Amino acid sequence: MIVRVSAPSNIALIKYMGKTDASSNLPANGSLSYTLENLRSVVEVELLPHGTADQWEPLALEGAAPFHMSERGREKFLGHFDRLKKEFSMRGHFLVRSANQFPSDAGIASSASSFAALTMATADMAEKVVSGFKKPSVEKLAELSRRGSGSSCRSFFSPWALWSAEGVRGVEITSLKLQHQLIVVDAGGKAVSSSEAHRRCTTSSLFETRPRRAEERLRELTRALKEQDWATAFEVTWTEFWDMHALFETSRPSFGYMKPGTLRVLEKVREMWSTRRDGPLATLDAGPNVHLLWREDQRALMRELQE
């Protein structure tokens, strides 16, 4: 008996950085993300009729390089699976297979998509093996997923997700159709994990007032996207990722993710906005790669920047 599910990644324009409760991943401020439908993780869960423990192995995807997960990553992944099994009263042992549909050397954080896919697949399996099981609502599944990886709760909604102290939900923010472009500057692993970043950023003297700044930007960006005020949306998004990276750089001890190539790409984006009075929304995750969001009518500009 086997189930297979895929789930998308997401990129936050207003960032989740800092927690009010680390054990259940409750955020210090609201965040807003755009769902990356083309960047997905796949998870299979298979019942092991004679198994004595849950296991993980990489899932082989046609045309993709073999998928690798660190020992620590596996522990966290199977730990989340175990929590879900208890929540859904699932008995027995299972083989969990997972992989990303995007290249693992693309420098994209996959925890959001992989934890979302694991949560969905486990609920699908529970439907098969637990008698009388009623599948939880999307909101409830997203909340369960949040306990494994905070940002994964936003991957349950598309194209926009709003996650605040009240919970996570899909929001209709704009009728603009957007195109995501990722500029890979460095595809290497992170020296500081996002869990460690959440912990360490609270040591920055900028952190105390950070939730207020983020909440204010959340309101401003929501308004700008609603009114299709693209230039303001760019300014808010730009200021927000610099704010998060300033928290990293001013933590004690300080750390950072930007590389010289990151600044070169950002310089090009700024140049485009200053000469053309138009350009993409730009943002960075806890990494050196630059995420750009373009409107559909900006294809020529997109090609120009790429060149």
Considering only residues 181 through 200, tell me which ones interact with ligand PMV, judged by CB under 6 A. Answer: 194-195, 198
In the bound state with ligand PMV, the residue whose beta carbon lies nearer, of 148 and 280, is: 148
In the bound state with ligand PMV, the residue whose beta carbon lies nearer, of 118 and 286, is: 286
- The minimum distance between CB 289 and ligand PMV, in angstroms, equals 12
In the bound state with ligand PMV, the residue whose beta carbon lies nearer, of 198 and 295, is: 198
- 56 — alpha (psi -120 to 50), left (phi > 0) or beta? beta
| Residue 87, Cβ density class (10 Å: 0-12 exposed, 13-18 middle, ≥19 buried) | middle
Rounded Cα gap, residues 270 and 280, in angstroms: 10
* Angle, CA of 238, 284 and 264, to the nearest 5°: 80
> Is residue 281 near ligand PMV by the rule CB under 6 A?
no
> Is residue 150 near ligand PMV by the rule CB under 6 A?
yes
- The minimum distance between CB 287 and ligand PMV, in angstroms, equals 8
In the bound state with ligand PMV, the residue whose beta carbon lies nearer, of 114 and 298, is: 114
Give 216-263 as a 3 state SS string. Answer: HHHHHHHHHHHCCCHHHHHHHHHHHHHHHHHHHHCCCCCCCCCCHHHH
> Is residue 155 near ligand PMV by the rule CB under 6 A?
no
- Residue window 28-67: x/- pattern of binding to ligand PMV, with contact defined by CB under 6 A: ---x------------------------------------
- The minimum distance between CB 25 and ligand PMV, in angstroms, equals 7
CB atoms within 10 A of CB 9: 29
Considering only residues 223 through 262, tell me which ones interact with ligand PMV, judged by CB under 6 A. Answer: none
Residue among 41, 100, 110, 111 that touches ligand PMV (CB under 6 A): 111
Q: Which backbone phi and psi does 51 adopt, to 5 degrees? A: -70, 155
Rounded Cα gap, residues 270 and 266, in angstroms: 6
> Would you tell me which residues interact with ligand PMV (CB under 6 A)?
12, 15-17, 31, 111, 149-151, 194-195, 198, 285-286
